[in-house]
Chains A and B, each alone.
Chain A
């Protein structure tokens, strides 16, 4: 039996109702909307031309078994007619902002969960709309009008975000689902762990070892067994989810956005590199992007980290917690490159690079050094900020990054981990 209803249903005053919207195969659908020749065809989205990893795919490709993260060769085995198209990050970010406008026109409280998923709190909307179904239909119509006729989304409404998201994941593409109370147990029984927000791959493996194959079955495990296997935190979380209640991950997403705790950037190069100049340039470029974001948010950080790896799983990383916070690219790069990276005897050629600044705090909370040298360098950094604000990122850049063609520019991720920055500062 399908635990979801597609029949109209009215609101009742004060009953909390969460609406979850999920745009189907977001990156690929937008590319198909843009190019009618790609519609209805299996397409694989690459990070950029010349890449071999499929970062996402169209619903047609997914139906043929193509999975995110597979290689082009693997995808072609499953879908020989597959067309590969580079992602258009600006398109995705702009579409997310337009979606957000639609959502805020629909309900007063909107939570952006990821680039293509949001929750709308309909608790106080019962006077505005005739039924929950009507809200969902209105949303789907507006999205088609604003983003294009090919863009479809799943909409699910339930008593909380956990159930709404789960129902949305399970439903057919482009559908509207209303989860009624009597259907919740069936929903928990049917949903594979991959569709349950809060249960990741490792947790799934541990649950399967206990013989638990769906969320409802957690109810059959005793409290003692659950705590022995998963510890005090996860045993409570799992018990909560088994009752169809929200895990803490979703409760946290409902809180007002806080200051970012860390800013990081990683990239996988096109090929393995042993060239010290190239490695230095990439690390500098990533550092410059991290510091650009941090400075726009007026944040400084006290911990810097660097990470590199090859393509066979060999990796190296290091971090340093500083006595006082830093807020300039040259300061951070000095620690990243000279303080950390150079202490490593490069044991393998590098393909993946990552840098992070964490333990962030607002500029206002830190006393600025009085050293004349620091003040002078800060003035230069401030001038570069102003030029960047006017002429764009990397319009003024270090000599390390002179080659315009090889500049690494910011990207958005599906998870939108930097939503505080993306929605507030771009």
Chain B
């Protein structure tokens, strides 16, 4: 079991509430991935470049999404290769 590297740009839809963006779904491989839970938010800064990493459960898989705050683009960075129901 491992994280598979994807590193592909994705479209993300979500909700702004109380000054915070919560992703609800993303499009990858022409498929809609509905996000059921955000499990971790991480802010990272490299010089003036700021990233917000969000780990989410989407279609029963754990995905690592990254938002580049300078270019305002979303990337699907990694996917855990085992669906959650097989693990629990």
Q: Which residue from chain A places its CB closest to the CB of B80 in the assembled complex?
A: A35
- CB of A94 within 8 A of CB of B42, answer yes
Q: Which residue from chain A places its CB closest to the CB of B88 in the assembled complex?
A: A37
- Restricting to B51-88, which residues have a CB under 8 Å from any CB of A? 51, 53, 55, 57, 62, 80, 82, 84, 86-88
* Contact-size category for A: 20 to 34
- CB of A392 within 8 A of CB of B46, answer yes
Chain B interface mostly: strand
Q: Given A34-B55, A35-B55, verify A388-B47 contact (CB < 8 Å).
A: yes
Residues of A within 8 A of B80 (CB): 35, 37
CB < 8 Å: which of A83, A95, A148, A393 contacts B39?
A148
Number of contacting residues on B, CB 8 A?
25
**Which of B39, B40, B42 has the most chain A CB atoms closer than 10 A to its own CB?**
B40
Q: Given A391-B47, A393-B47, verify A37-B62 contact (CB < 8 Å).
A: yes
Residues of A within 8 A of B19 (CB): none
CB < 8 Å: which of B39, B42, B43, B48 contacts A35?
B39
Contact with B along A380-402 (1 / 0, CB 8 A): 00000000111111010000000
Residues of B within 8 A of A395 (CB): 47
- Restricting to A76-96, which residues have a CB under 8 Å from any CB of B? 83-86, 88, 90-91, 93-95
Can you list 19 A-B pairs, Cβ within 8 angstroms, ordered by A? A34-B55, A34-B62, A35-B55, A35-B80, A36-B57, A36-B88, A85-B2, A86-B3, A90-B44, A91-B40, A93-B44, A95-B42, A148-B40, A389-B47, A389-B48, A391-B49, A392-B48, A392-B49, A393-B47
Residues of B within 8 A of A (CB): 1-3, 37, 39-40, 42-49, 51, 53, 55, 57, 62, 80, 82, 84, 86-88
